[in-house]
């Protein structure tokens, strides 16, 4: 075998090896191209994007906030004496319900009673003198000045009696309003001062509910707006009514403080309880609502996709209003009856063919 024959044989072997290596790869690429082509809907027929749509209908939109709050007593006070003194009698039981004006505690008043009795005797004396002087004045037996002195003594004694009566009244501690008494802090025989607490009294029917809302909703607050609240002890919703609010925004939290009131006849709620509140801001009639996932934010605003008569996706620039947990109000850009994409929003493109299923 000459040299030229060897070279030719070597080249043929190289070509055979190269073909053995490259052929499987070419065959695999061809099969992949065939699979991709078969996945399409055919020449000139693009595949349709499967989506779900909602048909816009006008409905009533209830604008509400989910916030937390605290229960307050309708009235609450720590009962203290106005004067110092010895406790001679305790006339209440802990946890007792009392009416306004009910005597709760008595302080020693022996000295004041003696002074009161002495003034009563003095009053009778001066009253008799005043009558006698008046008769003498009518007969012109005495001067007007002498009668005025007697009359002044009588009136001064009456004033002194009223002063002692006021001091005696302070020796009886009474309930300032209807309510439930707390725990007793004093005992009979103890000497108490004006700083000592006798007990606490609270009125919890009705109750008050304090809560705050973000400042952006402050212009929607109205006296008489309803709230609905629950707490950890009961899943039942109770209703209350906003009756007052702070006319300023808290600079630290950027919130407005509101106060509502609700009946509490069964004493289910106690001061200090935590509650979850559903605050009704208002209702809008004939609102167009779309799913929150349908709205796409952009630099210039918001857009959604709708399905036209040819089953193609079309962009619509919209203006949004109130948001809820799952929906967004459309103020402009859509009409009642439009089919709005609820799924496939990120895959959709202008003019893309879609295959839709309507959901409620």
156 and 295 part of one domain: no
According to DSSP, residue 243 is labeled E
142 and 246 part of one domain: no
- Has residue 41 been placed in a domain? no
- Has residue 113 been placed in a domain? yes
69 and 211 part of one domain: yes
- Has residue 153 been placed in a domain? yes
- Residue that has been written with the tokens 């790869």 in this structure: 25
204 and 278 part of one domain: yes
- Has residue 42 been placed in a domain? no
Q: Which helix (H) or strand (E) holds 331?
A: strand 327-332
- The whole-angstrom separation of Cα 229 and Cα 238 is 5
186 and 276 part of one domain: no
At a CB cut-off of 8 Å and minimum separation 6, what does 66 contact?
A: 276, 277, 278, 279
pLDDT of residue 37: 36
pLDDT of residue 233: 80
CATH at residue 299: 2.40.420.20
Strand order through the sheet with 85-90: 172-174, 103-107, 85-90, 191-192
Do residues 80 and 198 touch, judged by C-beta distance below 8 A?
yes
- Has residue 44 been placed in a domain? no
- Has residue 277 been placed in a domain? yes
253 and 334 part of one domain: no
Q: Are strands 179-181 and 274-291 parallel, antiparallel or unpaired?
A: unpaired
pLDDT of residue 30: 42
How distant, in Å, are the alpha carbons of 83, 103, 111, 164, 166 from that of 114? 18, 22, 5, 10, 15
Structural domain of 99: 81-104+175-197
Do residues 139 and 146 touch, judged by C-beta distance below 8 A?
no
69 and 206 part of one domain: yes
- The whole-angstrom separation of Cα 270 and Cα 206 is 11
1 and 148 part of one domain: no
Nearest Cα to Cα of residue 323 among 352, 281, 355: 281
Q: Are strands 49-55 and 354-359 parallel, antiparallel or unpaired?
A: parallel
Number of domains present in the structure of the chain: 5
- Has residue 40 been placed in a domain? no
Note down pLDDT in tens along the chain; length 360 residues: 556 666 776 666 777 666 666 555 544 444 444 443 333 444 455 688 999 999 999 988 877 888 999 999 999 999 999 999 999 999 999 999 999 999 999 999 999 999 999 999 999 999 999 999 999 989 888 899 999 999 999 999 999 999 999 999 999 999 999 999 999 999 999 999 999 999 999 999 999 999 999 998 888 888 998 999 998 887 789 999 999 999 999 999 999 999 999 999 988 999 999 999 998 887 788 899 999 999 999 988 999 999 999 999 999 999 998 888 788 999 999 999 999 999 999 999 999 999 999 987
SS3 call for 16? helix
180 and 272 part of one domain: no
pLDDT of residue 1: 53
94 and 193 part of one domain: yes
pLDDT of residue 20: 64
CATH at residue 227: 2.40.30.170
The count of C-alpha atoms lying within 13 angstroms of the C-alpha of 354, restricted to the half-sphere facing its C-beta, is 29
| pTM, entire model | 0.65
Q: Give buried/exposed letters for 212-229 (b at 16+ CB in 10 A, else e).
A: bbeeeebeeeeeebebeb
CB atoms within 10 A of CB 341: 26
210 and 349 part of one domain: no
pLDDT of residue 144: 92
- Has residue 310 been placed in a domain? yes
SS3 call for 259? strand
Q: Can you name the residues that pair with 63 across neighbouring β-strands?
A: 282
211 and 127 part of one domain: no
Nearest Cα to Cα of residue 179 among 72, 73, 70: 73
Angle, in degrees to the nearest 10, between helices 144-169 and 110-138: 160
- The whole-angstrom separation of Cα 259 and Cα 246 is 9
């Amino acid at each position: 075998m000459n040299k030229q024959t060897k070279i030719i044989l070597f080249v043929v072997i190289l070509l055979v090896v190269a073909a053995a290596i490259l052929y499987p790869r070419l065959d695999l690429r061809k099969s992949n191209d065939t699979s991709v082509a078969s996945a399409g809907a055919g020449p000139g027929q693009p595949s349709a994007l499967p989506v779900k749509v909602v048909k816009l209908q006008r409905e009533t939109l209830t604008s509400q906030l989910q916030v937390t709050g605290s229960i307050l007593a309708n009235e609450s006070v720590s009962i203290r004496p106005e004067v110092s003194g010895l406790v001679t009698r305790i006339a209440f039981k802990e946890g007792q319900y009392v009416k306004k004006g009910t005597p709760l505690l008595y302080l020693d008043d022996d000295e004041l009673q003696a002074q009161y009795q002495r003034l009563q005797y003095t009053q009778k004396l001066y009253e008799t003198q005043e009558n006698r002087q008046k008769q003498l004045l009518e007969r012109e037996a005495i001067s007007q000045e002498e009668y005025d002195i007697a009359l002044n003594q009588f009136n001064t004694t009456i004033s002194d009696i009223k002063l002692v009566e006021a001091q005696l009244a302070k020796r009886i501690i009474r309930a300032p309003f209807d309510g439930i008494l707390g725990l007793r802090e004093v005992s009979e025989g103890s000497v108490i001062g004006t700083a000592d607490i006798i007990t606490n009294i609270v009125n919890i029917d009705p109750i008050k509910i304090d809560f705050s809302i973000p400042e952006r909703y402050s212009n929607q607050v109205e006296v008489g707006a309803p709230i609905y609240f629950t707490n950890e002890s009961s899943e039942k919703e109770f209703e209350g009514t906003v009756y007052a609010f702070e006319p300023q925004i808290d600079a630290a939290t950027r919130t407005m403080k509101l106060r509502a009131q609700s009946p509490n006849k069964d004493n289910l709620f106690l001061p200090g309880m935590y509650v979850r509140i559903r605050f009704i801001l208002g209702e809008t009639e004939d609102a167009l609502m779309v799913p929150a996932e349908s709205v796409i934010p952009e630099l210039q605003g918001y857009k959604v996709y709708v399905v036209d008569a040819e089953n193609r996706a079309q962009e619509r620039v919209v203006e949004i209003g109130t948001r809820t947990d799952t929906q967004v109000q459309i103020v402009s850009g859509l009409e009642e009856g439009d089919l709005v994409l609820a799924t496939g929003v990120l895959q959709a493109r202008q003019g893309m063919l879609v295959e839709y299923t309507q959901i409620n």
